[in-house]
Amino acid sequence: MKKIDIACIVDDDPIFVYGAKRMMELADFCNSFLIFNNGHDALHKLKTLIKCKDELPDLILLDLNMPIMDGWQFLDNFTQIKIDKKIIIYIVSSSIDPVDMERSKQYSSVSNFVVKPISVDKVKEIMQDVMKNNN
């Protein structure tokens, strides 16, 4: 299976970030990673990449509960930016609150809501979804 070029992880939990990267490596998921500890840093860097016409990620794994700028604030800002490339966003959260799951459906750019932890099988499902949406 073809792998994606860049995966972006926006999460303040270093254990989750390590685990997600490891699962993606085991699944031969992507060529490189962009890692951010909060939505503000991710938004700033992605805006810079867009402005410079640099390579953007194919996928963003987004946590909801983070310091500085949470996942919802990131989504509210990021969805206002005009981008030519389709970037698939997965919310990956420890939240099992049905309100969060329903709220995520209000964003057309959010493909799915995944409850942590993430497994190799889930990474493979995400990869299939990304490939399907990028063809």
pTM of the entire predicted model: 0.92
Check whether domain 4-134 has CATH 3.30.450.20, yes or no: no
Rounded to an integer, what distance in angstroms lies between the CA atom of residue 54 and that of residue 75?
A: 21
Report the helix count and the strand count for the chain, using DSSP H and E: 5, 5
HSE of 64 in the Cβ direction (CA atoms, 13 Å)? 19
Tokens of 11: 């999460």
39-97 residue pLDDT tens: 999 999 999 998 888 889 999 999 999 999 999 999 999 999 988 888 899 999 988 89
At 125, the pLDDT band (50, 70, 90 cuts) reads: confident
Q: Cα Rg for the chain, rounded, in angstroms? A: 14
Q: Give the pLDDT of residue 107.
A: 92
| Secondary structure of residue 39 in the 3-state scheme | helix
